[in-house]
Structures are given as structure tokens and as C-alpha cells.
Copies of this chain bind each other. A is one copy, B any other.
Amino acid sequence: MADPTVRPISAADITTWDYEADVVVAGYGIAGVTAAIEAARAGAEVLVLERTGGWGGAASLAGGFIYLGGGTPLQKACGFEDSVENMKTFMKAALGPGTDDTKIDAYCEGSVDHYNWLVDAGVPFKESFWGQPGWEPPYDDGLMYSGGENAAPFNTLVDPAPRGHVPQMSEKNTGEKGGGYMLMKPLVETAEKLGVRAEYDLRVQTVVVDGDRVVGVVAKRYGKDVAIRARKGVVLAMGSFAYNNEMVRSNAPRIFGHPAASIEAHDGRAIQIGQALGADTAHMDATEVAFFCDPQLMVRGILVNGRGQRYIPEDTYPGRVGQATLFQQDNQAFLVIDEAAYEEGMNAESSSAQLRAQPSWVAETVEELEGEMGLPAGSLQSTVDLYNRHAAEGSDPVLGKKSEWVKPIVGPFAAIDLRGRTGGFTLGGLKTTVDSEVLHVSGAPIPGLFAAGRCTSGVCAGGYASGTSLGDGSFFGRRAGISAAR
């Protein structure tokens, strides 16, 4: 199991440099491309190394949400007010505990500028808002709530604003090109115009050091070692560790065996390369958690745990439902819904139709239903009674579901079995500064080494909002490029 190739190699042991550039970027996903662009604009000669046969990474397969706010032109065009302060308040509350507040501050203060930067680089956003419950907009709308800002408990803490910005999908109806692709494509084209070179099928193994300073990397290509010199700096942008079973089991065991929204290249190597140099890590247990249910159904029923109790407002961000279900309810969840609401949900527009399911159980009474579901006698009945008591007045004082979605549940009743229907990717990684320098455990930056994206711990500590990965990957990717080119 031991893999000595992760250990740093001394520059003195390199006889030939196969490639050379000012800035060497490992990984051609969202963090890599943004780092490459900024390094090139700062005048550096840039070489990107990618282990697969093409650019894109997990980003180009993603829905494409970028978490932006503080009053972006898109937010304004869609009629929403937002402020940097509100964005900070929400992110610190929803993405913690333990958020890196310096990082969130920088991210929020630079958010409008970052939006403009993306637009200038050719990323298209359509000026329209999708307001229905869902994981993503079903069409090419550019803006959506993507973190539960407009749901309890956050909607009482701070004025909500949608911050999920989605690049316009040109061929959505054919299912070919999603928002993530429409984000990556113009950025890669921008990088190419700036003279950024890329080498593919190169798997970065470790870094080359001269004393304490990182001066290059060593990679494998078709079984052969390739040495690449970085005159100014190396940027690690190689993604999460969701597909490294050993790392997941030791750090984020709750998603062991259930990687999702991730790619096999996410093997944690960048984190290990940093660790082998004495780099510090943070929040290695944190994970995004997908919940495999269509929000258009969820919002019209009640979600109960293995004891028949409600535990989350059903109209919040579905990723928050996923985290609550996996972390706090032992991955036990059922959606209880009545026939009329089920029909309505099935007919609603949704980008998650593939997550719809037939009822697992149906019954004329709640008593019957809870028996069929194997819940303790009276448990679901008391939950439905309490919900209906307040729903009759349009309120949900127990969990704060918005009144527009609160309606008494009347027979016939159905329940959908949602136990174990979660998966996710890891959010923890190398500890970096706001300038994307990789921090040694001593607290000092490692000279010549920079990192961004999901191989770092970014704006998320425990919580998650859709768009924070492409968001902090691109935002701190840019900073990694600027720092490395210095």
C-alpha cells in the first residue's frame, strides 16, 4: 500500500527537465484554468498539466452553479437586492461551523468583480430567474436560490437573495452541454488566447524542491517519469479526495462508498503531495451531500426520519436536506405526501425528473401507512396531526416551512422510501491563505506552492451551498495564478 512516489524530490536529483514554464498548473478544471489565465495575464509563461485526455475536470460535468452575490449585475437584472454584508452573514451561518472568515470576507468583497471577470472572459449568463424548488433550473435561466437563503432558519436571520449563477446552457434540451461546460469552454479559450499551453495524460506524482522551495513537479506519462520545471511557482488544482477510499474512510467515513458529483481523478493526490511537504489541512471530514429526491415532490410533503419525526423544512436547499439526513438522521428518511400533492409535484416543471419515484407505500389512513412503513405505532400519526394542526392556519412553527408550501396532509396517503439515498464529495483539503499560498503546519506559506479548488479547504467548513465549489475554485484559482506568477 505504501507509495513512495508522493515524497518530494530534490532538484539535485533531476538530471533533465522535460518541460519548463514560469508557472506550472496541475489540473485543468475550474481552479486550474482560472489560475492559468491570471498567471498568463501577469506575464508568466504558463503550462497546465492534466492527467486525462482533455480539459474540463469535474467542473465541465457539473450543473455549473457559481455562488456569487453582493449585488451582481445578474442579481440586479433579475430584480434582487443583495449586499456584501448579507452575503457574508449568510455564508458564515450556513457553511460552518468553523468557517475561514478571512476567506469568506475576501470572497464576498470580490464577488461582483469576479462575476464581471467571468463575463469578460466570455461566460454567458441569461438574465432570468428560476424560482421553483429544484436542484438546478430546468431551462437556461441564469439565477436561482442554491443554499437555502430563502428558507428557515436563514430567511429570518438575513434578507434572502439568490446567489446561484448558472452559465447559459446552449443545448440543454439535448442534454449534451450543461452549465459547467459552458463555464469551462470560454475560460479555456481565454487561456489559449493568452498563450497558455497544456500537456495531457500527465499524472502529477509529487513536487520537486530546492531546499524549502517548490521548483517543479514530477509526473507519470504512460509509465515514464517526466520532470517539469516551474521557474516561479506550482499551482495544485487536482480536485477532491472523493475517490480515494482510504482517505475517505479515515477522514469522511459517512460518504464512504458513495462518491457523487465527482470524478475518478479526484484521488486526493494533491492533498497528499502537500502533506508530504508538511502542509496543514482543514475540515477533512466536511462533505457536500446530494439527496436523491425531486425537490418538487419534497416541498409538497413532509420529510420524516426513522422515528417518524420531521427534522428539516422541506422547502430548503436540497443539499442541506442531504447533509441533515446523512449526518443527523443516520441516513433515514421518508417523504410522506398525500395523493393530490403527489400528483401536483409530478406535474411540476423540474430538472430532477429522474429523481422522482413511485410511492413505496400507500394507505387510506396514517395509522395504516405507519404500520406498513415499519414505524412505531402512533409516531407518524402524531407528526401528521401536529403538522396539520398548524397547517390549517398556514404556518409551520416547528420547522418554519414557508406558508406557500404548508397545506394539511389529507388521505389517501403515500410514502416514498428515501433511506440511504445520499452521496457526495469531499470539501476538506490543504489549508491555504486568501492568496492561495499553501500553509505549512508551522503556519508559514510553503515557498513556490499554491493551491485552489477542492484539493483545498475553501469557503465551506461543514455546510454547503451549490456554487461554492466552482465559486471558490475559480475565485481562489485566480489568486493562485496571480501569486504564483509573482
Residues of A within 8 A of B (CB): 1-7, 96-98, 249-251, 253-254, 256, 272, 275-278, 280-285, 307-311, 327-329, 376-379, 382-383, 385-386, 389-390, 397-399, 431, 440-444, 457, 461-462
What 5 pairs across the A-B complex have the smallest Cβ distances?
A98-B253, A285-B285, A2-B443, A376-B397, A250-B282
Question: Is there contact, CB below 8 Å, between A462 and B327?
Answer: no
Q: Which residues of B contact A278 (CB under 8 A)?
A: 7, 275-278
Instruction: Report the bound CA distance from A440 to B379 in whole Å.
Output: 50
Report the separation of the CA atoms of residues A303 and B360 in the bound assembly, to the nearest whole angstrom: 32
Q: Give Cα distance in the complex from A315 to B467, angstroms.
A: 43
**A250 CB contacts on chain B under 8 angstroms:** 98, 280, 282-283, 431, 457
Q: Report the Cα distance A52→B462, complex, angstroms.
A: 36
* Residue pair A98, B444 in contact (C-beta under 8 Å): no
Interface centre among A2, A253, A377 (most CB of B within 10 A): A253
Please state if A398 and B379 are interface contacts (CB–CB under 8 Å). Answer: yes
* Contact call B6/A442, Cβ cutoff below 8 A: yes
The distance in angstroms between the C-alpha atoms of A444 and B276, with both chains bound, is 12
Which residues of B lie under 8 Å from residue A249 when comparing CB positions? 98
Q: Show 25 residue pairs from A and B whose CB-CB distance is below 8 angstroms, ordered by the A residue.
A: A3-B443, A7-B442, A98-B249, A98-B250, A98-B251, A98-B254, A98-B256, A250-B283, A250-B457, A251-B282, A253-B461, A253-B462, A275-B278, A275-B280, A276-B278, A276-B440, A276-B441, A276-B442, A281-B281, A281-B284, A285-B285, A308-B398, A328-B329, A378-B389, A378-B390
Cα-based distance from A275 to B399 in the complex (angstroms): 43
Q: How far is the CA of A5 from the CA of B442 in the complex (A)?
A: 8
Docked CA distance A379–B382 (Å): 9
Closest CB in chain B relative to A381 CB, distance in Å:
9
Q: How far is the CB of A359 from chain B (nearest CB, A)?
A: 24
Shortest C-beta distance, A384 to chain B (Å), equals 10
CA gap between A399 and B256 in the complex, in Å? 26
User: Closest CB of chain B to A306's CB: distance in Å?
Assistant: 10
Distance between Cα atoms of A310 and B308 in the complex (Å): 11
Given contact pairs A276-B278, A281-B284, A377-B390, a sample of 7 additional A-B residue pairs in the complex whose CB atoms are under 8 Å apart: A4-B442, A97-B256, A98-B251, A272-B442, A284-B284, A307-B398, A376-B398
A321 to chain B, nearest CB (A): 15
Closest to A324 in B: B328
Query: Please, how many angstroms separate the alpha-carbon atoms of A382 and B199 in the complex?
Result: 64
- Measured in the bound complex, the distance between the Cα atoms of B256 and A181 in whole Å is 40
List residues of chain B with CB within 8 A of the CB of A390: 376-378
CB distance from A304 to the nearest CB of B (A): 11
Are A251 and B441 neighbours in the complex by a CB distance under 8 Å?
A: no
Residues of B within 8 A of A7 (CB): 278, 440, 442
- Would A2 and B256 count as touching, CB distance under 8 A? no
Contact between B98 and A441 (Cβ–Cβ < 8 Å)? no
Beta-carbon contact of A443 and B379 below 8 Å: no
User: Quick one: which of B97, B385, B457 contacts A254, CB cutoff 8 A?
Assistant: B97
In angstroms, Cα B309 to Cα A441, docked, is 43
- Shortest CB distance A271–B (Å): 9
Chain B, residue nearest A277 (CB): B278
Chain B residues positioned under 8 Å from A440 (CB to CB): 7, 276
- Residues of chain B contacted by A254 (CB below 8 angstroms): 97-98
Q: How far is the CB of A420 from chain B (nearest CB, A)?
A: 13
- Bound-complex Cα distance A457 to B327 (A): 21
Closest to A445 in B: B2
CA distance A329 to B440 in the complex (A): 35
Task: Tell me which residues across on chain B come within 8 A of A281, comparing CB atoms.
Answer: 281, 284
